[in-house]
C-alpha cells in the first residue's frame, strides 16, 4: 500500500534519492544539462532543502511503499500572502508515473489547503512540460497566467501558472 507521509529533515536523503532521478528525467528534453545541474543544486542541496523546510515553511510529503520512496511534493500555504497554497514541487519516479501516485499527492495538497482555509491551489509549470500540463488540466486546473522568471546565472524559467479553486 502506498502511504503519503509528512517529511522532515531526516528525510532529506530520501527526497534527494527520488529527485536525482525524477527531476533530470522530467527536464531532459526541455532544459540544457547545464541548467539542470544548476537548478538541482539550487533546489535540492542539503542546505536548500533545510532552508525550504525550516525558514520558508515549505511542507514536504513523500509517497512511500514499504521502504521505498516513489515521489515527493512540497507545498506552501498562504504563499506570498495570497490566501492560496502553492505546490512548489511534485515529482514521481519515471517508472512509477501514471499509476495514481501523483493524484494521491495532489489530493493530499487539496486536503491540506482546505485545512489551512486557503481558497485555491496553484503552481508554476514549464510551458514545454506537456505531460505535467496534461495532468493539471485533467485534474481541474485552469491557466491563470504566464510568467518568465530570472533564476540567475543567465537562466530563466518560462512558465505557465495553473490554478484550481478548492
Ligand atoms: C505530472 C505527474 C506528477 C503526474 O503524476 P502521475 O502519478 O503520473 O499521475 P496519476 O497517475 O496520478 O494521474 C492522475 C490522473 O491524471 C491523468 N493524467 C496523468 N498524466 C496525464 C497527462 N499527461 N495527460 C492527461 N491526463 C493525465 C491520469 O490518467 C489520471 O486520470 P484518472 O484520475 O482519470 O485515472 C508525474 O507524471 C510526474 O512526476 N512527472 C514528471 C515530473 C513533473 O513534470 N512534475 C511537474 C512539475 S511542474
Q: What is the C-alpha separation between 130 and 143, in angstroms, rounded? A: 13
What are the CA-CA distances from residue 85 to residues 25, 28, 75, 102 (Å)?
Answer: 26, 28, 7, 17
In a domain, 13, yes or no: yes
Confidence of residue 164 (pLDDT cuts 50, 70, 90): very high
CATH code at position 101:
3.40.630.30
Of 70, 66, 60, the closest CA to residue 100 belongs to 70
- Say how many Å lie between the CA of residue 100 and the centre of ligand 1: 7
* Residues 123/86, Cβ–Cβ less than 8 Å: yes
The answer to whether residue 143 is domain-embedded is no
Amino acid 129: pLDDT: 97
Structural domain that includes position 85: 2-121
Question: 134: pLDDT confidence band, cut at 50, 70 and 90?
Answer: very high
Q: How confident is the model at residue 122 (pLDDT cuts 50, 70, 90)?
A: very high
Is residue 101 included in any domain, yes or no? yes
Nearest CA among 49, 39, 42 for reference residue 12? 49
For residue 161, count other CB atoms closer than 10 A to its CB: 16
Pocket of ligand 1 (CB under 6 A): 22, 26, 90-92, 97-103, 125, 129, 131-132, 134-135, 138-139
As for how many domains the chain has, the answer is 1
Amino acid at each position: 500500500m502506498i502511504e503519503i507521509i509528512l517529511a522532515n529533515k531526516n528525510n532529506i536523503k530520501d527526497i534527494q534519492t527520488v529527485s536525482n532521478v525524477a527531476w533530470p528525467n522530467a527536464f531532459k528534453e526541455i532544459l540544457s544539462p547545464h541548467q539542470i545541474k544548476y537548478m538541482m543544486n539550487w533546489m535540492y542541496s542539503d542546505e536548500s532543502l533545510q532552508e525550504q523546510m525550516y525558514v520558508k515553511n515549505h511542507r514536504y510529503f513523500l509517497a512511500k511503499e514499504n521502504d521505498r520512496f516513489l515521489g515527493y511534493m512540497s507545498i506552501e500555504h498562504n504563499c506570498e500572502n495570497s490566501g492560496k497554497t502553492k505546490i512548489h514541487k511534485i515529482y514521481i519516479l519515471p517508472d512509477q508515473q501514471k499509476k495514481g501516485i501523483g493524484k494521491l499527492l495532489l489530493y493530499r495538497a487539496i486536503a491540506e489547503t482546505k485545512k489551512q482555509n486557503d481558497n485555491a491551489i496553484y503552481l508554476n509549470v514549464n510551458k514545454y512540460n506537456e505531460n505535467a500540463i496534461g495532468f493539471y488540466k485533467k485534474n481541474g486546473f485552469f491557466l491563470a497566467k504566464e510568467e518568465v522568471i530570472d533564476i540567475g546565472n543567465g537562466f530563466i524559467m518560462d512558465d505557465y501558472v495553473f490554478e484550481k479553486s478548492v
